[in-house]
Amino acid sequence: LGQRITASFRRLNQAPIIDDDLLDEVLKEIAAALLHADVNVRYVSELRSNVKKRVLLESDASGVNKRKLIQKAVVEELVRLVSTDRKPYKLEKGKCNIIMFVGLQGSGKTTTCTKYAHHYNRKGWKTALVCADTFRAGAFDQLKQNASKVRIPFYGDYNETDPVKIAEEGVELFKKEKYDLIIVDTSGRHKQEAALFDEMQQVAEVVAPNDIIFIMDSHIGQACFDQAKAFREVVDIGSVIITKLDGHAKGGGALSAVSATNSPIIFLGTGEHFDEFQPFDAQSFVSRLLGMGDLKGLFQTITEAMPLDKQPELLNKISKGRFSLRDLYEQFQNLQKMGPMSQLMQMIPGMSNLMPAGAEKEGVKRIKRFMVIMDSMTDTELDCEVQLNDSRKLRIARGAGASIPEVNLLIDEYKRMEKMVGKMGKSGLFGKGGELTQ
């Protein structure tokens, strides 16, 4: 999706003049890309006419830059498409936050509960899981296994068949033990049916959740809208998590279903592993989609992967916009520790060139090559204290068994990263001591 839209933008940039015909054509291409990604038809035509209206209204004879205007309008409309005015529930420290998960069977509730628990547990929240699914055979075993893997206390009962009772008991127990965050996993059914909705309401009544999170499988595409709406009519959904966004381009249906729930998306699930889970921010998401790079997302991922004792140093450097080849080397090392490279790579502007979709293995290999090349650099070279002239490049290439163009490619990538870090330094994301301000 992003690629098709970016291609349309490129056309826009290359066109000598931008008249109404070209605008129509570009909008048509963008609309086709959105429809292809399963975005709800209604929103696509809305987006199209909104962009057009804005461009007609805001551009005038005095030469306002039409290209910029069109791009800005498209980006803003896309952001609007995936966001709502309603703020998500914010967990409160020093209080027992009860969060209930709902959604159809197979949507990813149990997996996502665990990811969510793991996410907050790592941030220091005292977290517990309650299994109120007595419908699916083996549901408790599944939650138990998940919870044990990420070392989170859990509650469930093999013999009890009443989910309402289990939910109540579990929440009561963890409340007494002063947990900050109690997560209640519920059962689903294959369809939206009365039995499921009754049960959901009853569980909600006894546990009195602070937030109800609706879990939606992005694979169902256009059907997302109606499903989200049906759930919304029964319980007060406060937030949405969209799952299985890995490995297919049809996420648009789910993303545009936010308006059906009138609730914000808070996380995205991008794989079966418990760390394949990303906080959702509409602005970052759209920039990433369009290949504009997502500084905030990248930064958070890097700091999460970075060993704690090393963080202040890196933060401080980045906040001053400084970034050397040695820092890049360390980032590569961290990236390697972090597993699914592809996701991360998508967040790094310029890096997506190295990691075309579907060629992750290639990308990983390339990064290893880069590290080999950096291994034959001297300390002063790594610290960027000397210019890498031709004779140095030749020596480095020889030492690494690489070619000069390979060394140049590495240097180009480094320069791109350095530029980005420079932007980060000025982005206002940091306080004076290099701490993250948001």
Q: Where do contacts with Mg ion occur on this chain (CB under 5 A)?
A: 109-110
Three-state DSSP at 234 gives helix
49 or 161: CB nearest Mg ion: 161
Residue 232 near which of Mg ion, ligand GDP, none (CB within 5-8 Å, type-dependent) = none
Q: What is the CA radius of gyration of the chain?
A: 24
Least distance CB 134 / ligand GDP (angstroms):
13
Residue 107 near which of Mg ion, ligand GDP, none (CB within 5-8 Å, type-dependent) = ligand GDP
Residue 108 near which of ligand GDP, Mg ion, none (CB within 5-8 Å, type-dependent) = ligand GDP
Residue nearest to ligand GDP (CB): 269
Least distance CB 219 / ligand GDP (angstroms):
9
- Dihedral, 76, 78, 81, 83 alpha carbons, nearest 10: -60
Residue 296 near which of ligand GDP, Mg ion, none (CB within 5-8 Å, type-dependent) = none
138 or 356: CB nearest ligand GDP: 138
Query: What's the rounded Cα separation, in Å, for the pair 10 and 7?
Result: 5
| Tokens of residue 187, six digits | 């059962």
Residue with tokens 């003049």: 17
| Tokens of residue 138, six digits | 């083996």
193 or 375: CB nearest Mg ion: 193
Least distance CB 220 / ligand GDP (angstroms):
13
Query: What's the rounded Cα separation, in Å, for the pair 157 and 164?
Result: 12
- Are 113 and 143 spatial neighbours (Cβ–Cβ below 8 Å)? yes
| Tokens of residue 132, six digits | 């109120």
Three-state DSSP at 214 gives strand
109 or 115: CB nearest Mg ion: 109
Could you list the residues that contact ligand GDP (CB under 6 A)? Answer: 103, 105-111, 188, 243-244, 246, 269-272
Least distance CB 161 / Mg ion (angstroms):
16
Q: Which residues of 165-195 are buried (b: 16+ CB within 10 A; e: fewer)?
A: bbbbbbbeebeeeebbbbbbbbbbbeebeee
Least distance CB 275 / ligand GDP (angstroms):
11
78 or 117: CB nearest Mg ion: 117
DSSP state of 106: T
Least distance CB 202 / ligand GDP (angstroms):
19
190 or 432: CB nearest ligand GDP: 190
